[in-house]
Amino acid sequence: MTVKISSIGLKGLEGYRVQVEVQISSGTESMVIVGLPDASLKESKERVLSAIRTLKCDVTDKKVVVNLSPSEQKKNGPFFDLAMAIGVLKEAGELKEKIPEDAVFIGALSLDGTVVKVEGMLPALIAAKTLGFKRVYLPYDPLLPLDMLEGLEYIVVQHINDVLQHLAGQVLLPLHMPPKAEPIDTQTYKHEKDFCHVIGHERAKEALEIAAAGEHNVLMSGPPGCGKSMLAEAFPSIFPRLTKEAQLEVLSLYQLAQENLLSPQITPFRNPHHSASSVAIIGGGSNPKPGEISLAHRGVLFLDEMAEFPRKTLDMLRQPLEAGKVTISRAQSTVTYPASFILMAAMNPCPCGFLGSNNRYCTCTPKQIQSYQSRISGPVYDRVDILLSLESVNLEEPSHTRQSSAEFRFRVENARERQYERYQEQISNAKVPFDQLSATSPLKENQHNMIRQVSSKHQWSNRVQIKIIRLARTIADLAGSEEITDESIWKAITLRRVNHLKEQMKVGER
C-alpha cells in the first residue's frame, strides 16, 4: 500500500502541488527519495528518520521509498520534511487516523522532531489557497501575515507529535502570538524625505507627480549637488498605500530574498550602488533568487549615477521594463519573478558634471561627452517616459510656499482611482495594454497629426510615440479630464524631449 500526502513546492514565486508518496517494504534498512530532489532535500531522510524515532516508530529492516510527484519537476529545499514524516508514520501504522485530502503539510524538521520554518512559506501558503486546499499544517513564524490570508484553516504546530494529536481530534492550544502591530497609515506616516524639504524644482516635482500617478519611468540629468538624489528619495512619499494583493506579493519576494521590509504598506524603494553585479540587479545565482528589480516590484528602482552602471547591466533592464517580470534561466531550472517597477535614474550630463551649468565651466571635450552619454543605449532611452534636465537652485532667493508630499499624494490617489475605474482593474496608464488604452481614450485626428509631426521632427520611435499618449492620458487624469486634451499632449511632449542631452552637447561644443 502507498500513502499519499500533499505539500507545496516553489518555482520562483509560483507554487505548485507536490504529492508525497511513501511506501515501506521489507529489505535492507534504507530511505530513498526520488523525484529530482536537490542536495538539501536528499538530506531530509536523516532528519525524517531521526524525528520519527522520537515517537518510537521503528523502521529497522525496512526499505522506505519516497516519491515526490510530479517527477519531472526539480524539488528544492526542506519544504517536504513534515509531509514525508507523516507519510512514513501512516505507512508504518503509527498513525491510524485518516489524513484529509484537502490538507497540506509544510515545514522542515529538526532531529528531535521539532517543526521549523523554511524560507518561502508565504508564497507557498498563497499557492495552497489558490490550489483549493482548506487546511494547512505549518510551523510558527511571527512574520507570516496569516490575518491577510483568509479562506484557509491554519494549524500551527511546534512538534511532529502536535500534528498527530490534531489528526486524532485533540484541540491544540494556540501558540503565543505577539501583539498585532497597528497598520501604518500613509496619511500620517512620516517619510524621511518629504517634497516640502526640496527647495525649488517645481517643474521637476510636477513631473514626478505625473510619474507617480501613471507609473512612468524618469531620467534626471543635472550637475552634481543640484538635488537629483533628494528628489528621488522623496519620490516614494507621494505614492498611495499598497493594496492587499500588492502587499502579499512584496512580502513574498522579500521573504524569498531574506531581506528586511520596513512595512508592506509603504512603496518599496531600492537604491543599488553602481558597482552592483548584474546578478544582484536582475536576480539569479546557482539557486535563483530575486534581484533588485524584483525587490522594487510595485515600487521604485533608483539608479543613481546611471551612466556608471555597466552597459550590459542596463540593457538587461529592457525586457523587465516591458514585460513587468523577469525570467531567469539556469541549467537546473527556469524561474520567473514579478518586476513591475518604476525606473528612476539620475546622471550627470558629462564626465565632469558641469555641462550646461550656469556656475561652473565644463572641461570635457565633445568626444568625452559623447562617450559618456553613449553608455546608455538608445533602447534604454526609449523606455524612459520623462526626461528632466535640472539646474542648481539659488538657496538665497526667496522660495514660494512648498507643498508637502501629502498634497501630492492626494492628487496621485485620485488619478489612480480614475485609471482603476476606467480599466476595471488595478492597472496604471503606463502598464495597461495599448489596445485597451486606445479603446477607452481614443485620440482625435488632429491629435494624431500633432504627435506624428513632432515625432517626425525629432525622429521618435513608435515606442516613444506610444509613451507620449500614455503620458498625456495621465496628465489628463490629474486634471480631471475624461478625454485626452490637446494641452495634455503638448505637455507630454515637453516632458519627453529625447534629444535634450544632444542639445547640451551642442552648448559644450560652442
Task: Look up the CATH number of the domain holding residue 56.
Answer: 3.30.230.10
User: Cell numbers 510558527 correspond to what residue?
Assistant: 140
For position 191, what pLDDT does the model report?
74
SS3 content of the chain, % helix, strand, coil (to 5): 40, 20, 45
* pLDDT higher than 90, residue 397: no
Nearest to 333 by CA among 77, 82, 148: 77
Looking at the fold, whether 93 and 44 belong to one and the same domain comes out as yes
pLDDT at 344 over 70: yes
**d(C-alpha 13, C-alpha 157), whole Å:** 24
Give mean pLDDT, residues 139-144.
88
The reply to whether 88 falls in a domain is yes
Report in angstroms the alpha-carbon separations of 466 from 137, 386, 432, 451, 493: 49, 13, 12, 10, 11
Q: In the structure, what pLDDT confidence band is assigned to residue 458 with cuts at 50, 70 and 90?
A: confident
Q: Is residue 144 part of a domain?
A: yes
Bridge partners of residue 24, in order along the sequence: 64
The domain boundary, picked from 396, 428, 460, lies at 428
Residues making up the chain, counted from first to last: 510
Q: Phi then psi for 473, rounded to 5 degrees?
A: -65, -40
Higher pLDDT pick, 485 / 144? 485
Q: Please check whether residue 352 lies inside any domain of the structure.
A: yes
Which whole number is the average pLDDT over 172-193? 54
The answer on pLDDT for 186 being more than 50 is no
The pLDDT, as a whole number, for residue 73 is 87
500 phi and psi angles, rounded to 5 deg: -65, -35
- What is the rounded average pLDDT for all residues in the chain? 88
**Residues 346, 205 share a domain:** yes
Together in a domain, 202 and 124? no
Q: What is the pLDDT, as a whole number, of residue 189?
A: 55
Tell which of 406, 428, 450 closes a domain. 428
- Together in a domain, 388 and 320: yes
- What value does the mean pLDDT take over residues 124-131? 93
Backbone angles phi, psi at 136, to 5 degrees: -130, 130
Q: What is the mean pLDDT of the segment spanning 2-12?
A: 92
Greatest mean pLDDT range, 167-181, 245-259, 393-407: 245-259
What is the chain's alpha carbon radius of gyration, rounded to the nearest angstrom? 28
Residues 207 and 162 in one domain: no
Cell numbers describing residue 499: 534629444
Same domain membership, residue 237 and residue 317:
yes
What is the extent of the structural domain holding 69?
3-167
Residue 94 has pLDDT above 80, yes or no: yes
Give yes or no for residue 10 having a pLDDT over 50.
yes
Confidence category of residue 142, pLDDT binned at 50, 70, 90: confident
pTM higher than 0.85 for the full model?
Answer: yes
- On whether residue 39 sits in a domain, the answer given is yes
pLDDT of 490 over the 50 cut: yes
Residue 95: inside a domain: yes
Q: Is residue 493 domain-resident?
A: no
Residue showing cell 543640484: 226
Confidence of residue 183 (pLDDT cuts 50, 70, 90): very low
Q: How confident is the model at residue 77 (pLDDT cuts 50, 70, 90)?
A: confident
pLDDT of residue 401: 66
Q: Spell out the residues 6+ positions from residue 248 whose beta carbon is closer than 8 angstroms to its own.
A: 122, 126, 145, 148, 149, 264
pLDDT category, 114, cuts 50, 70, 90?
A: very high
Percent of the chain scoring above 90 in pLDDT: 62
| Residue 310 and residue 161 share a domain | no
**How confident is the model over 367-381, as pLDDT tens digits?**
999 899 889 998 999
Cell numbers for 461: 520611435
The count of structural domains within the chain is 2
Rounded distance, CA 273 to CA 260, Å? 18
| Whether residue 238 sits in one domain with residue 305 | yes
- Beta-sheet pairing, 269-270 with 300-303: parallel
Cα dihedral sign, 303-305-309-314: positive
Residue 396's pLDDT band (cuts 50, 70, 90) = low
CATH of the domain at 407: 3.40.50.300
189 lies in some domain? no
Under the banding of pLDDT at 50, 70 and 90, the label for residue 356 is confident
- Whether 325 shows a pLDDT value over 60: the answer reads yes
313: three-class secondary structure by DSSP: helix
**Together in a domain, 420 and 310:** yes
pLDDT of residue 91: 92
Instruction: Note the pLDDT of residue 510.
Output: 42
For residues 31-59, give the mean pLDDT: 89
Among 379, 400, 428, the domain boundary falls at 428
Contact status, residue 483 vs residue 446, Cβ threshold 8 Å: no
What are the angstrom distances between the C-alpha of 287 and each of 16, 49, 279?
18, 27, 12
Do 222 and 152 lie in one domain? The reply is no
Q: pLDDT-based confidence at 493, cuts 50/70/90? A: very high
- The pLDDT of residue 508 is 43
Q: How sure is the predictor about 505, in pLDDT bands with cuts at 50, 70 and 90?
A: very low
Q: Residue 190 has what pLDDT?
A: 64
Q: Is residue 372 part of a domain?
A: yes
pLDDT band at 399 (very low <50, low <70, confident <90, very high): low
Does position 271 have pLDDT exceeding 80, yes or no? Answer: yes
179 pLDDT tier (thresholds 50, 70, 90): very low
Kindly tell me if the per-residue pLDDT of 40 is higher than 50. Answer: yes
- Same-domain pairing of 227 and 304: yes
Q: Is residue 18 located within the same domain as residue 107? A: yes
Q: If you average pLDDT over residues 445-459, what whole number do you get? A: 92
